[in-house]
Amino acid sequence: MPTLVRRLPPLGVALAAALAAVAVSGLVPLLGALLVALALGTVVANSPLAHARALTGHAEVTKLLLRLGVVLLGLRLPLGDVAAIGVAGVLVVVATVVLTYAATAALGARLGLDRRLVTLLAAGFSICGAAAIAALADAVGARQKDVAHSVALVTIYGTAMIVLVPWAAARLGLSEEQGAIWAGASIHEVAQVVAAASIVGSGAVAVATTVKLGRVALLAPTYLVAVRGAGAPASAGRVPLLPWFLVGFVLMVAVRSSGLLPGQLVEAADDVTTVLLAAGMFGLGLGLRLRELWPVPAGALVLATCSTLVAAGTSLALVVALY
């Protein structure tokens, strides 16, 4: 009970910060609630508020919030909808994820970047942006500044893709379906995919979102590959093959796929997922110091650029060939 009592103040602060981040993101959707929460935590960490008693013990709370957010992320994935994209769609999704992750990991090693940072970028750019980064950060023993750099880069590049993908799709003469599949297979965050697909066409959002969810469905196997290849330090502890939150994620996918949950509950769970992940990101921000964040490593910028190009190029080639 004493441990629980100690966790309540930082938990309350984190959830309040997350709600504020969600509100800001609602006003400026391109920022994303997770990035806003991370920035808010960083501001607090570099102010006199950093020593407030209410923030004592935030590290344990942060870890729990992120893991619970990953568990509930599974409720966004009805496998029946993902299967509806067909064999061609599954091929686009799997090939794009595998090639983007592998190319990012290989190039990151050639650039001499820390393997943990490379792993976060590879997962974020190939799977589902900040949510994938949050899922892997603790497991690979990532430094908090690596998490901050990864979230910032995946947000910036994904935001640019909101404009570039619809523009390029129109110039290349892609059909609405082709443009939607390309957006879902190449853009990093779900919200960014929705924004880009709405530009492609009125009927593109559902298709693009379904394709994007196909990428999110690969979070579990990507986690297993990433943890084995990241070389987490001994101080991070032994990483279990199937951590409880990954099992929970898979179970939530099964629950959502059963069709037993009412629509209102699914929508509410989606909002709770965002709040939990944002609260966790706020906690990560509390561990950051501004002097550690700047400058962003040049190699990370190069890697983010190349990773985005691989994701966009691979998915475009497959879309043109298969549709």
**Residue type (1 letter), 246:** L
**pLDDT classification of 309: cutoffs 50, 70, 90:** very high
The pLDDT assigned to 5 comes to: 47
The SS3 assignment for 113 reads coil
What is the pLDDT, as a whole number, of residue 240? 59
pLDDT at 72 over 50: yes
Cβ-Cβ contacts under 8 Å for 258 (sequence gap 6 or more): none
Distance CA 285, CA 207 (A): 34
Residues contacting 319, CB < 8 A, separation 6+? 92, 174, 178, 181, 182, 185
Concatenate the DSSP letters of all residues of 37-50 into one string: HHHHHHHHHTSGGG
Dihedral sign for Cα atoms in the order 205, 211, 213, 215: negative
| Range of 57-71, 154-168, 261-275, 297-311 with top mean pLDDT | 297-311
pLDDT in tens, 268-278: 988 898 898 88
DSSP 238: P
The string of pLDDT tens digits covering residues 172-202 is 999 999 999 999 999 988 778 888 888 888 7
pLDDT over 90, % of the chain? 25
Calpha distance 64→75 (Å, rounded): 18
- For every residue of 135-188, DSSP letters joined together read HHHTTTT--HHHHHHHHHHHHHHHHHHHHHHHHHHHHTT--HHHHHHHHHHH-S
End-to-end CA distance of the chain: 58
Residue with the bigger pLDDT between 285 and 299: it is 299
The token pair that represents 266 in the structure block: 């699914």
